[in-house]
Amino acid sequence: MSEPSGRAVCVGEALIELKRGSDGRFALSCGGDTFNTAVYLARAGIDAAFATAIGDDPYSESMLALAAAEGIATNLVLRVPGRLPALCLVEGAPSGERSVRYWREGAPVHELFELPDWMRLAEGLVSAKLIYFSGITLSLLSTNGIARFLAVLEVARGQGAKVAFDGNFRPRGWKGDLPRTRTVFIEALKRVDIALPTFDDEAVLWGDPSPEATVARLQAFGIGEIVVKNGPNSALVARVGAQDFVPVPEVLVPVDTTAAGDGFNAGYLAARLSGSEPMQAAAAAHRLAGHVIRHPGALVPRVGAAMH
């Protein structure tokens, strides 16, 4: 039985993002919650890979080019000829919040675990050290695809992989079907080692009255490490036998809240993979999230790097 490699694999969606600027024009970029986390993991020096399905069009090529420029392995990106990735259109507001509209029908990622070469993806996950995915990942998959993915997670955990999950609940992605969302999440949570929920999402989906209630509910699944993000408030870090609030070091007026949670998750997981304890990791996660919200867009420009 081979030891898990040092690789962290993020599973989910990469999409074309059109964002309207203050001049009314749209700028083209690549987005996706788990993709953003993969970028920030790679920037933190983690051996990161991204698992998704895209087309063979120029936009899909630019996604691969961006991943390569960021040092993300793309051997688990499945290509589907003649298909296009999803598209989202982003409009900002003065508050730093934004409105987003999606065109996702027909995107190959919906069939990620049903495409002819999905077993190549499964093999890559089973040999990983860490597998990270989100509620958005689950919302894109069919019932059959979810079942296959969860089965792969079980095998990977048996080989020593850790599984990290951010509920990242978006009602529209589930067509407002809360009972189905809860059913799918419950099955996923049985296979999670590190939970990284956002309190506001958990309150909507489960009716949790407090971050402590979120921790208690997740601990009932046997999850040993839980970090509840709570916006500008403290994050609640729970591990076996202890719970502590880790305050945000500096409350900032956000330029753009896009990917704050994705950055937090990457900061936390990168620190844990590098040997930090959960409390130190949460402090590092706050710092990275604070950096992300100081800049417009999901990905903070790298110094000296050309953005695609």
What is the C-alpha separation between 264 and 268, in angstroms, rounded?
A: 6
- Reference 189, options 223, 138, 142, 229; nearest CA is 223
Tell me: the pLDDT tens digits for 79-137? Answer: 999 999 999 998 876 655 678 889 998 999 999 999 999 999 999 999 999 999 999 99
Which residues, other chains included, contact 175 with Cβ-Cβ below 8 Å and sequence gap of 6+?
Answer: none
Tokens representing 239 are 């591990």
Residues near 265 by beta carbon (within 8 Å), at least 6 away in sequence: 37, 132, 164, 166, 196, 285
pLDDT for the residue numbered 50: 97
Residue 139 has a pLDDT of 97
Listed as own residue / partner, the contacts of 277-284 with beta carbons closer than 8 Å and 24 or more positions apart are 278/225, 278/227, 278/237, 278/239, 279/237, 279/244, 279/246, 282/227, 282/235, 282/237, 282/246, 283/246, 283/249
% residues pLDDT > 90 (the chain): 72
Q: Which of 47, 166, 208, 262 is catalytic?
A: 262
* 298 or 191, greater pLDDT: 191
- Cα 176–265–204 angle (5° rounding)? 25
Contact 78, 53 (CB under 8 A): yes
What's the pLDDT tens digit per position in 217-255?
999 999 999 999 998 889 999 998 899 998 887 766 666
- Angle subtended at Cα 170 by Cα 42 and Cα 36, rounded to the nearest 5 degrees: 10
- Provide the pLDDT confidence category of residue 306 given band limits of 50, 70 and 90: very low
Give the mean model confidence (pLDDT) for residues 134-158: 97
Neighbours of 291 (CB within 10 A): 15
- Which domains are assigned to the chain? 8-13+33-83+108-292 (3.40.1190.20)
pLDDT confidence tier of residue 2, bands split at 50, 70 and 90: very low
Q: Please tell me the predicted confidence (pLDDT) of residue 285.
A: 85
- In this predicted structure, what is the pLDDT of residue 97? 63
What DSSP character marks residue 55?
-
* Cα pseudo-dihedral 61, 66, 71, 77, rounded to 10: -40
> Does 57 participate in catalysis according to the annotation?
no
Identify the sign of the CA torsion 101, 110, 34, 240: positive
pLDDT at residue 214 greater than cutoff 80: yes
pLDDT tens-place string over residues 158-178? 999 999 999 999 999 999 999
| pLDDT beyond 60 at 1 | no
Average pLDDT of span 37-60 = 96
Whether 256 shows a pLDDT value over 80: the answer reads no
Please state whether the predicted TM-score (pTM) of the whole model is above 0.85: yes
Q: What is the pLDDT of residue 289?
A: 79
